[in-house]
Structure 1
Amino acid sequence: MQQENKYIEYKESVSKTFLKVVSAFANYNDGKIIFGICDDGSVKGLLDPHKAAIDIENAINDSITPVPEYDITVNDNNRTVIVAIYRGTETPYFYHGKAYRRADTASVPVDNVELKRLVLKGTNRNYEDLPADNQELSFSYLEKELKNVLKIDSFDIDIQKTLGLYVQDTGYTIAAELLADINQYRGIDIVRFGESENQIMDREILEKESLIAEYNKAIQMYKKYYQYDEIKGAKRNTVELVPETAFREAVANALVHRVWDIPASVQIAMYKDKIQITSPGGLPEDISEDEYLYSQVSILRNPKIAEVFLKLDYIEKFGTGIRRIMDSYKNEHCKPEFSFTEHTICVTLPVRITKQVNNDTEEVVLSALMGSGEMTRRELEELTGIAKDTLIRALNILIDKNLIKKTGAARNTRYSMK
């Protein structure tokens, strides 16, 4: 018998406690409750499973508001009752005035923030659709950007209505407030670290201003530390240690897809070898990590804000951001990394290896090691034709730069990519 988990609950007998589980499954995920099974998965059976099924049905209908969709099946072979509860569209589903969620194998009451989210979901709305607390809003920064891109004459009330930023009966929305010149929200917290996280070399906290202004200021901070001009002959080229396209997409995605109903900032941590961008909120419901990374499925938490970013060309069509980030590293050994928790999404953009190499010798050694697994010094000599002393110096420099690693000793020494 399968062990209890987030989606399966065992009950040895019928008692009112199962109704918390019904509420949790109806609010968030399809799930099953199987009566007549002990916590350890052993089958005990019920004395009268058909009577129990009627009692369960009456309890759900009388105690859960609104009544969710469910099925009840009696297994006469082992005298168990299986209740399948389906996630509903009329959230929140209450039991005795409380809405529940699953926390591993337990069912616990939701907090006030989560309850508000369930209410919005049940009315097919997003947090950005709610009326703004402040109705005295100005949009000089957004208007300037829209005029430059869309060539509009003014950002009047008709355009604001078209973008869903103003509703006739209720006024400006939270989406409008987030894009306004002044608002109450935390935006982006950017830190540039030195040799360790104990050394803070620079910091900029962007908050209580238009998301458009915060986005552009983050780009300027990126350019300060990860771009420089390189002159070769008569040409001046801009070198990007981290691809600008990847950074722009990651920051735009963080602002567009994050949750705005908690007092948290998008965190941008800048290191010598990488940039990490962490947005609050975790993955949207109904999308897996694989779908987020490898498909072009896009479930928007903030579609009104996303539409403005799209019109300003800060993002391309919805669902292509991750692909664009990956494409910007397609010729690099190091690749972006994505990590997820229940409440955050973190994107790590590594500094491109080829931009850390100071001379042709180091680049030749890196090219030889890429995709080759482990190699000895002699094998590298034969493959590259680089003299022993020169090769040893290059290998040591690349080790110091943390680009390659050395294993073994003496004749068993091997070199490989980190």
Structure 2
Amino acid sequence: MKENRSYEIKEKVTNTFLKTVSAFANYGGGTIQFGISDDGRIIGIDNPKAVCLDIENRINDSIRPIPSYQLTIDDRTRIITLKVEAGQFKPYYYKTKAYKRNDTATIEVDRVELNRLILEGEGRSFDALPAKNQQLSFSVLENKMREMLSIAKLSQDVLKTIGLVDVNGQYNNAAALLADHNDFPGIDCARFGETIDIIRDRETFDRESILKQFDDALELYRKYYQYDVIDGSVRKTIQQIPEKAYREALANALVHRTWDTRAQIRVSMYDDRVEIVSPGGLPEGMTQDEYLRGQVSLLRNPVIGNVFFRLHLIESFGTGVRRMNQAYNGSETKPIYSFSTNTITVTLPVVQTVEHMTPDERQLYQVLSTVGKSSSAIAAQSGFSKRKTLQLLKALIYRGIVRKIGNGRGTKYIAQKDDGLTDH
């Protein structure tokens, strides 16, 4: 087994493993195995029972607070396995420093991440912290509350009820973000031409309420992906990309992003798709599968989430992905979700039905399913040459109709029908 973010191997016991213990306790837990060389050969540990006691003493003497962990010995191979659980009382320090895993390396966390760990350990969120600026106005929020909830005036009691004011009468960061003016990063929107070198339109929405940013970015979407047609005496609005999906993706980006960094939400608009990149990866404790299936709702910004829920900008917590996928019912293209340590990207393709495909694309698509098939198998079943099959697959992948999984000889292709998970 190769090393990764949650697994490390050590040939012998040195104090360097204590940094990784700190990292695992701070971020999701993990396993360290002693007695395996860097090239994966099993070496084993001499006198493993005594070494286990040594490991235990080193952890108890060096990590603060002491994390939960288990030590086991494989009697046959003499490999020692140390399993470290994700801790509840973060941050976990080794020699006054907190660590995290960066792929297969263990590195010290920076000041921003350390502050996040401290908040997480205290059960608090960034949006609930006191705002630096206490001179705030809320005309945009008041108008929204009047429109959606029939609240005539946004009094201090209402602000307390929706969580924007603490018991001492101080505004929090959520209030600052919802205020008419703020100093947080906003939404950077760009409409591209045939290539990314051609920018047809550029709008940056910032220094205004995130509710106003939401409305502004929605209007820009409508400018490029909606148009009216006359069918007899009826005017119909055609949505090239479902507005429901775009609204949900944009609202999720505002609610779930990290607000303690200066990065903007990026909305990139192309002829065939919109990409929305939100700063901050998945919340700690949430897996990609849980995110995609809406099984768990871990709000990074619960105060903002509550306001968006009250204003019906999000329907309910944890259902955003399902709602985006439902908006593409009947389309051969589906939303695509990709993840990195610091971002979540949602790609919303232009709606494509079977009627929008060329005859060759339709013929090839009909032999695909949600079970992966090799290009050779697809070529054989469709009757196309290998070269033509690969050309058609490339076009369908680009439009989000087909997904490529694996690499090399293990490459498979599946119809993009369900969850939209990409392998990033």
TM-score category, normalised to shorter length: 0.7 to 0.9
Deviation (angstroms), 1:318: 1.2
Q: State whether residues 349 and 400 of structure 2, in contact with CA within 8 Å, keep that contact through their aligned partners in structure 1.
A: no
297-306 vs 172-181, greater mean Cα deviation = 297-306
Give the 3 Å change call, closer, same or farther, for CA 193–364 of structure 1 in structure 2. closer
Give the 3 Å change call, closer, same or farther, for CA 77–204 of structure 1 in structure 2. same
Deviations 1:41-97 (A, max 9, x none): 333333332332222222111111111112223444444433221111111100111
73-82 vs 100-109, greater mean Cα deviation = 73-82
Residue 193 of structure 1 is matched in structure 2 by: 192
What is the letter of the counterpart of residue 162 of structure 1? T
Residue 249 of structure 1 is matched in structure 2 by: 248
In structure 2, the gaps of 5 or more residues are 369-381, 383-394, 402-414, 417-424
Residue 372 of structure 1 is matched in structure 2 by: 366
Instruction: Provide the rounded CA distance (Å) in 2 between the counterparts of 1:296 and 1:5.
Output: 25
Give the 3 Å change call, closer, same or farther, for CA 370–313 of structure 1 in structure 2. farther
Deviations 1:372-418 (A, max 9, x none): 359xxxx9xxxxxxxxxxxxxxxxxx99xx999xxxxxxxxxxxx99
Residue 144 of structure 1 is matched in structure 2 by: 143
Give the 3 Å change call, closer, same or farther, for CA 140–74 of structure 1 in structure 2. same
SS at match of 2:182: strand
Deviations 1:112-168 (A, max 9, x none): 111111111110111111111111111110011101111112111112112221112
Structure 2 matches for 1:272-287, cutoff 5 A?
Answer: 272-287=271-286
Instruction: Provide the rounded CA distance (Å) in 2 between the counterparts of 1:126 and 1:278.
Output: 22
SS at match of 1:6: coil
Deviations 1:258-294 (A, max 9, x none): 1111101111111122111111112222222222222
Give the 3 Å change call, closer, same or farther, for CA 170–293 of structure 1 in structure 2. same
Q: State whether residues 136 and 176 of structure 2, in contact with CA within 8 Å, keep that contact through their aligned partners in structure 1.
A: yes
SS at match of 1:164: coil
Instruction: Provide the rounded CA distance (Å) in 2 between the counterparts of 1:364 and 1:54.
Output: 68
What is the letter of the counterpart of residue 325 of structure 1? M
Deviation (angstroms), 1:320: 1.7
Q: State whether residues 353 and 403 of structure 1, in contact with CA within 8 Å, keep that contact through their aligned partners in structure 2.
A: no
Q: State whether residues 333 and 400 of structure 2, in contact with CA within 8 Å, keep that contact through their aligned partners in structure 1.
A: no
Structure 2 matches for 1:259-270, cutoff 5 A?
Answer: 259-270=258-269
Residue 182 of structure 2 is matched in structure 1 by: 183
Residue 63 of structure 2 is matched in structure 1 by: 64
Instruction: Provide the rounded CA distance (Å) in 2 between the counterparts of 1:239 and 1:44.
Output: 65
SS at match of 1:290: helix
Instruction: Provide the rounded CA distance (Å) in 2 between the counterparts of 1:127 and 1:105.
Output: 29
Deviations 1:202-244 (A, max 9, x none): 1110011100000001111111111122112211111112111
Asked whether 1:120 is paired with 2:123, we answer no
Give the 3 Å change call, closer, same or farther, for CA 223–51 of structure 1 in structure 2. same
Residue 386 of structure 2 is matched in structure 1 by: none
Instruction: Provide the rounded CA distance (Å) in 1 between the counterparts of 2:76 and 2:171.
Output: 61
Q: State whether residues 241 and 351 of structure 1, in contact with CA within 8 Å, keep that contact through their aligned partners in structure 2.
A: yes
Normalised to the residue count of structure 2, the TM-score between the two structures is 0.82
Structure 2 matches for 1:183-222, cutoff 5 A?
Answer: 183-222=182-221
Asked whether 1:132 is paired with 2:168, we answer no
Residue 371 of structure 2 is matched in structure 1 by: none
Give the 3 Å change call, closer, same or farther, for CA 199–42 of structure 1 in structure 2. closer
Residue 392 of structure 1 is matched in structure 2 by: none
Q: State whether residues 99 and 109 of structure 1, in contact with CA within 8 Å, keep that contact through their aligned partners in structure 2.
A: yes
Instruction: Provide the rounded CA distance (Å) in 1 between the counterparts of 2:219 and 2:203.
Output: 11
Q: State whether residues 4 and 39 of structure 1, in contact with CA within 8 Å, keep that contact through their aligned partners in structure 2.
A: no
Residue 46 of structure 2 is matched in structure 1 by: 47
Give the 3 Å change call, closer, same or farther, for CA 8–199 of structure 1 in structure 2. closer
What is the letter of the counterpart of residue 85 of structure 2? Y
Residue 419 of structure 2 is matched in structure 1 by: none
Residue 308 of structure 1 is matched in structure 2 by: 307
Q: How many residues align?
A: 377
Q: State whether residues 333 and 370 of structure 1, in contact with CA within 8 Å, keep that contact through their aligned partners in structure 2.
A: no
Deviation (angstroms), 1:249: 0.8
What is the letter of the counterpart of residue 168 of structure 2? D
Normalised to the residue count of structure 1, the TM-score between the two structures is 0.83
Instruction: Provide the rounded CA distance (Å) in 2 between the counterparts of 1:39 and 1:266.
Output: 40
Q: State whether residues 131 and 170 of structure 1, in contact with CA within 8 Å, keep that contact through their aligned partners in structure 2.
A: no
Give the 3 Å change call, closer, same or farther, for CA 170–371 of structure 1 in structure 2. same
SS at match of 1:339: strand
34-43 vs 138-147, greater mean Cα deviation = 34-43
What is the letter of the counterpart of residue 178 of structure 2? L
What is the letter of the counterpart of residue 197 of structure 1? I
SS at match of 1:84: strand
Q: State whether residues 240 and 351 of structure 2, in contact with CA within 8 Å, keep that contact through their aligned partners in structure 1.
A: yes
What is the letter of the counterpart of residue 124 of structure 1? G
Give the 3 Å change call, closer, same or farther, for CA 139–13 of structure 1 in structure 2. same
SS at match of 1:209: coil
Instruction: Provide the rounded CA distance (Å) in 2 between the counterparts of 1:368 and 1:84.
Output: 50
Instruction: Provide the rounded CA distance (Å) in 2 between the counterparts of 1:124 and 1:37.
Output: 38
Instruction: Provide the rounded CA distance (Å) in 1 between the counterparts of 2:173 and 2:320.
Output: 24
324-333 vs 70-79, greater mean Cα deviation = 70-79
SS at match of 1:166: coil
Q: State whether residues 335 and 400 of structure 2, in contact with CA within 8 Å, keep that contact through their aligned partners in structure 1.
A: no
SS at match of 1:228: strand
Asked whether 1:7 is paired with 2:1, we answer no
SS at match of 1:100: strand
SS at match of 2:219: helix
Residue 25 of structure 1 is matched in structure 2 by: 24
Structure 2 matches for 1:223-372, cutoff 5 A?
Answer: 223-353=222-352, 371-372=365-366
Q: State whether residues 10 and 34 of structure 2, in contact with CA within 8 Å, keep that contact through their aligned partners in structure 1.
A: yes
Residue 384 of structure 1 is matched in structure 2 by: none
Q: State whether residues 334 and 400 of structure 2, in contact with CA within 8 Å, keep that contact through their aligned partners in structure 1.
A: no
Instruction: Provide the rounded CA distance (Å) in 2 between the counterparts of 1:3 and 1:306.
Output: 39
Instruction: Provide the rounded CA distance (Å) in 2 between the counterparts of 1:306 and 1:78.
Output: 51
Larger Rg: 1
